[in-house]
Amino acid sequence: MENNINSTSHLSVPNLSIKLEELRNSLRPGQQQLASWTAGKMAISAVPGAGKSHSLAVAAAMMIAQYRLHPRKQLIIVTYTRSAAAGIKAKIKERLKELKIPQTGFMVQTLHGLALNIATRNPDLSQLNLETSTVIIPTPSHRVIRSSVEKWISGNPRRYQLLLEGAEFDGEETERLRRQSVLRTEVLPKLAHTIIREAKSSGLNPEKVWELSDYSQEHYQILAIAAGLYEQYQIVMRSLDFIDYDDMILGALNVIENPKIRQVWQQQIFAVFEDEAQDSSPLQEKLISALASKENDCNLIRVGDPNQAINSTFTPADSVYFNWFCETCKSQEKLAEMTQAGRSSKIIIDAANFVLKWVNGQWEYESKKQRKKHINSDISEDKKEVIPFRLQSIETVSKDDPQPNANPEAVGEGLELYRPDDIYHTVDLIKERIIELLNKNSDHNAAILVRENRQGRFLAENLKELPKKHKIRVYEVGESERFSQIPSEILNLLQFIDRPHSPDYLKNALEILQNRGLIPSQDLNILATYPENFLYPSSLIPEQKKPVLEARRYCCNLLQAKLELPDYQLIPFLGMTLKYTGAELATVQKLSERISQELVGKFSLKSVLNVLREIINSEQFEGIEEDSEERYTRQNQVTIITMHKSKGLDWDYVFLPFLHEDVLPGNPWVPTAAKFLGEFTLAEVSRAQIRAAVHHQYINPENTLIIPNPDNAWQEAQQLKKAEEYRLLYVAMTRAKRLLWMSAAKEGPFRWSVFKADTSINLHSKVPCPIFPILMKQFPNSVIEYLF
Ligand SMILES: Nc1ncnc2c1ncn2[C@@H]1O[C@H](COP(=O)(O)OP(=O)(O)OP(=O)(O)O)[C@@H](O)[C@H]1O
């Protein structure tokens, strides 16, 4: 290979090789393989706590020193978040300082940062001009998605009619209008959102999705609907000069398709290191591979943990590609495994390993049973059996490991398993344990990891006394996310007050009231179909049921306020109506003041709506703030955070309450309102269908492409979801250093999404997460009996 790889003997500092040797010796076995990389592709599969970022930084510094890298020949390190990029950059600089080497020769960037860098240098090739374009994140409720849906509906009456008719339809008018509302405001926006991200980040344009739709012979032709929506989306985006995150990568790829420019980039790049490779999408992989290539070689090192892939069922991240990359590298003896980890006490490691093996074992047992039962005709031949976990056990580190206090001594039983009576009893037990632990060791930290923010809110409300009475800080991470929703909640209610006869505005308002637990949950489409009949029913309308009446009372109160209150008092009134708490009310107050400042003398409902829309649109990006790890892991603090967000962090004591089967792993769920289409959701089916096509392209393009039918695609999506939930549990468990506290209360809310933290509410008996009783059996000493 011709890429100027000089050996250390050329280095001018004689002591450098000794220093480099010392550095190499400070690494663990798998880490050393990373540091000894010389050329070509390499995969590193690591376990939680193995020191991925630590060894990546050491290996990068060693490489910069050995190969005398400089700004015109650099090592590129790609990460997925800005905070991870900042962390690795600081670590590499530190090492280079120790080696007395200039802190150049490398660049740490997020993948999108890198793509943007490439794309903006050649706007004519990338067709991206950031000075005139606006970057958006098209959520299902974004106006771009909504307008793409409307355009698709008006251009495709036949396909739309087929959806309206669903699995069965007797032609009844009210039902037809209800279905229209469900399709326009829920099903199609969700389908558009999913399919556009999935297809785009797999490198498929609308034409390609059209082609794929020819391979699928099913009733609705979901892929054809998807292709049409995607086509409309591209038109709407172009007309508004908007771009999304995938456009940045596509733009960069367009640039480096030019042979001359590609050569310039490739010459400047010595090698590419990718961190968190399990979260890559095909498009991202394509970009980094292209940058790392030189003639017939590709200097690409990908580091990841397939067992921590927890984004693949709701984003286009798909760990299958990293798994395949690992397999290919393995066959070429280019796979290294980092299996030693010093983060946790031995018993916590044992429990995590046990979960991994048990889940995989169950999986194999279940799929054998399934295979015996029926042979699926449309499962493509090249489909490999995907098991939830890569069989990779975590090991404790060796005695001479340089990590201070590696595999620390367990606190209490190290692993503690509880079956509290109910969710209130759970908080009492957690509270008591936290007070005891942090009072004894105020330099330690703790976290309660939850599956959904509602659980976090419930915990925070019930742990209020910790700061004052016990001097223990409580940091509920979801709280700031709730604050960021306030402007759009207020906007939605004001839009309804302004135009109560709009079914869309009424539905949005009802959704907010329902999400905040102010009105009973029900099919809102029925209420929103005829706003007039719902808000002001005449004697000809059948008597409204109690949940409808409650919803109506709230809505009528809002409309009454418009008549009775001056416009400038509407926002504070809405804050009260939504039962915002102290800090939330303060945010409402601030929002109200800001609007007043902008509208001096011109205050009207219409002008308020305009200003609010502007605030929401322009602040979308400020919302994504730089995360600093430090605020999540402060000593003497208990952090309440979702399991998803806990990835990459660790705490001395980790609490995992509410481990119930209906949440973890959860059950397949189709919203009742959309059941008329069948026992599946179009969005999930389309994702599985696109993935089947893209996987086929990767593994065996010569075979005939088989797109799974909706029922099979749905089954597959559900299996992947279940596997991901178990990986999420594994990520959560491996955050603990000294104590892992897990519980499954005997009673809890029917569903957290409709739970009101009110002691008078009926609790339901709950089934524990299937792994919980097995863990109790496997670790009998960890089962804790309690006195109250
Ligand atoms: N060779 C080593 N020498 C000294 N300390 C090490 C070594 N390897 C790892 N560590 C330490 O181990 C800890 C865990 O490392 P790190 O956070 O990089 O793990 P990780 O693999 O990213 O974990 P996860 O994927 O579970 O978040 C860090 O404090 C790091 O400094």
pLDDT tens per residue across span 301-345: 999 999 999 988 888 888 889 999 999 999 999 999 999 999 999
Q: How far is the CA of 682 from the CAs of 197, 225, 585, 712, 722, in angstroms?
A: 15, 10, 39, 12, 19
Q: If you measure from the C-alpha of residue 55 to the centroid of ligand 1, how many angstroms do you get, rounded to a whole number?
A: 8
Q: If you measure from the C-alpha of residue 21 to the centroid of ligand 1, how many angstroms do you get, rounded to a whole number?
A: 20
DSSP line for 462-515: HTTHHHHHH--EEEEHHHHHHHHHHHHHHHHHHHHHH-TT-HHHHHHHHHHHHH
The two beta strands, 415-418 and 41-46, are unpaired
- Other Cβ atoms less than 10 A from the Cβ of 577: the count is 16
* Sign of the four-CA dihedral 78, 82, 86, 88: negative
* Pocket-testing residue among 23, 34, 54, ligand 1, by greatest number of atoms within 8 A of Cβ: 54
Q: If you measure from the C-alpha of residue 624 to the centroid of ligand 1, how many angstroms do you get, rounded to a whole number?
A: 26
Q: If you measure from the C-alpha of residue 339 to the centroid of ligand 1, how many angstroms do you get, rounded to a whole number?
A: 11
For residue 54, which atom of ligand 1 is closest to its CA? 18
For residue 647, which atom of ligand 1 is closest to its CA? 27
Q: If you measure from the C-alpha of residue 54 to the centroid of ligand 1, how many angstroms do you get, rounded to a whole number?
A: 5
For residue 48, which atom of ligand 1 is closest to its CA? 26
Q: If you measure from the C-alpha of residue 430 to the centroid of ligand 1, how many angstroms do you get, rounded to a whole number?
A: 28
Superfamily name and number for 8-123+248-338: P-loop containing nucleotide triphosphate hydrolases (3.40.50.300)
Phi and psi at residue 175, to the nearest 5°:
-65, -35
Cβ atoms of 732 and 447 closer than 8 Å: no
d(C-alpha 520, C-alpha 532), whole Å: 20
Q: Is 255 annotated as a binding residue?
A: no
Helix/strand/coil for 637: strand
Nearest CA to ligand 1 atom 6: 403
* Pocket-testing residue among 337, 403, 407, 727, ligand 1, by greatest number of atoms within 8 A of Cβ: 403
For residue 648, which atom of ligand 1 is closest to its CA? 27
Nearest CA to ligand 1 atom 25: 48
d(C-alpha 680, C-alpha 460), whole Å: 35
For residue 650, which atom of ligand 1 is closest to its CA? 27
Q: What percentage of the chain's residues is helix, strand, coil (to nearest 5)?
A: 55, 10, 35
Q: Is 48 annotated as a binding residue?
A: yes
For residue 28, which atom of ligand 1 is closest to its CA? 1
E-state strands within 80-197: 106-110, 134-135
Q: Which amino acid is at 30?
A: G
The two beta strands, 134-135 and 242-243, are parallel
Tokens of 162: 């087929």
Q: Is 674 annotated as a binding residue?
A: no
Q: If you measure from the C-alpha of residue 50 to the centroid of ligand 1, how many angstroms do you get, rounded to a whole number?
A: 5
pLDDT at 623: 36
pLDDT at 668: 83
Nearest by Cα to 377 from 709, 710, 715, 720: 709
DSSP line for 158-182: HHHHHHHH-S-----HHHHHHHHHH
Cβ atoms of 197 and 315 closer than 8 Å: yes
For residue 55, which atom of ligand 1 is closest to its CA? 8
Nearest CA to ligand 1 atom 8: 51
Nearest CA to ligand 1 atom 27: 648
Q: If you measure from the C-alpha of residue 73 to the centroid of ligand 1, how many angstroms do you get, rounded to a whole number?
A: 28
Q: Is 49 annotated as a binding residue?
A: yes
Q: If you measure from the C-alpha of residue 731 to the centroid of ligand 1, how many angstroms do you get, rounded to a whole number?
A: 15
For residue 52, which atom of ligand 1 is closest to its CA? 21
Nearest CA to ligand 1 atom 13: 51
d(C-alpha 337, C-alpha 327), whole Å: 12
Cβ atoms of 64 and 357 closer than 8 Å: no
ipTM of the complex model? 0.96
pLDDT at 45: 96
E-state strands within 210-275: 242-243, 269-274
- Other Cβ atoms less than 10 A from the Cβ of 135: the count is 16
The two beta strands, 764-765 and 747-748, are antiparallel
Nearest by Cα to 773 from 357, 404, 355: 355
Q: If you measure from the C-alpha of residue 108 to the centroid of ligand 1, how many angstroms do you get, rounded to a whole number?
A: 19
Strand partners of residue 335: 43
Q: If you measure from the C-alpha of residue 343 to the centroid of ligand 1, how many angstroms do you get, rounded to a whole number?
A: 7
Q: If you measure from the C-alpha of residue 51 to the centroid of ligand 1, how many angstroms do you get, rounded to a whole number?
A: 3
Query: Tokens 């990841």 label which residue?
Result: 304
d(C-alpha 647, C-alpha 305), whole Å: 11
Q: How far is the CA of 183 from the CAs of 435, 528, 675, 700, in angstroms?
A: 50, 13, 11, 36
Nearest CA to ligand 1 atom 9: 51
pLDDT at 132: 85
pLDDT at 432: 95
Q: If you measure from the C-alpha of residue 401 to the centroid of ligand 1, how many angstroms do you get, rounded to a whole number?
A: 12
- The model's pLDDT over 471-496, given as tens digits with 9 standing for 90+, comes to 999 999 988 777 888 898 999 999 99
Nearest CA to ligand 1 atom 16: 51
Side-chain-side CA neighbours of 234 within 13 Å: the count stands at 16
For residue 56, which atom of ligand 1 is closest to its CA? 18
pTM of the model: 0.91
Output the furthest CA–CA distance in the chain (Å, rounded): 96
> Exposed, middle or buried, 609 (CB in 10 Å: 0-12/13-18/19+)?
middle
Q: If you measure from the C-alpha of residue 403 to the centroid of ligand 1, how many angstroms do you get, rounded to a whole number?
A: 8
d(C-alpha 401, C-alpha 31), whole Å: 12
Q: What residues contact residue 705 under an 8 Å CB cut-off, 6+ apart? A: 212, 215, 380, 693, 696
pLDDT at 380: 45
Nearest CA to ligand 1 atom 28: 51
Q: If you measure from the C-alpha of residue 151 to the centroid of ligand 1, how many angstroms do you get, rounded to a whole number?
A: 51
Helix (H) or strand (E) holding 652: strand 651-656
Nearest CA to ligand 1 atom 17: 51
Mean pLDDT by 10-residue block, N- to C-terminus, for the chain (788 residues)?
41 73 90 92 96 93 93 92 87 92 92 92 88 87 94 97 92 90 95 95 95 91 97 96 93 93 92 94 91 88 95 85 93 95 98 97 85 56 69 94 95 97 96 96 97 93 93 91 85 94 94 88 89 88 87 94 88 90 83 84 84 74 53 96 95 98 90 93 95 88 88 92 96 98 95 71 90 97 81
Nearest CA to ligand 1 atom 10: 51
My answer on whether omega of the bond before 665 falls inside 30° of 0, hence cis, is: yes
Residues in the ligand 1 pocket, defined by CB under 6 Å: 26-28, 31, 46, 48-55, 305, 308, 342-343, 402-403, 648, 734
The two beta strands, 293-294 and 297-298, are antiparallel
For residue 50, which atom of ligand 1 is closest to its CA? 21
Same fold, 8-123+248-338 and 346-375+385-472+636-782: yes
d(C-alpha 146, C-alpha 139), whole Å: 10
Q: If you measure from the C-alpha of residue 52 to the centroid of ligand 1, how many angstroms do you get, rounded to a whole number?
A: 6
Q: If you measure from the C-alpha of residue 59 to the centroid of ligand 1, how many angstroms do you get, rounded to a whole number?
A: 13
Going from N- to C-terminal start, the domains of the chain cover 8-123+248-338, 136-240, 346-375+385-472+636-782, 479-618
Q: Is 52 annotated as a binding residue?
A: yes
For residue 731, which atom of ligand 1 is closest to its CA? 26
Q: Domain spanning 346-375+385-472+636-782: which CATH class is it, in words?
A: alpha beta
Q: Which amino acid is at 206?
A: P
For residue 46, which atom of ligand 1 is closest to its CA? 21
d(C-alpha 218, C-alpha 708), whole Å: 9
For residue 53, which atom of ligand 1 is closest to its CA? 18
- The alpha carbon of residue 665 and the mean position of all alpha carbons in its chain are separated, in whole angstroms, by 16
My answer on whether omega of the bond before 420 falls inside 30° of 0, hence cis, is: no
Query: Tokens 């550095």 label which residue?
Result: 23
Query: Tokens 């602040």 label which residue?
Result: 619
Q: Which amino acid is at 525?
A: N
Nearest CA to ligand 1 atom 5: 403
CATH number of 479-618: 1.10.486
Nearest by Cα to 198 from 716, 684, 590: 684
Nearest CA to ligand 1 atom 23: 49
d(C-alpha 586, C-alpha 737), whole Å: 37
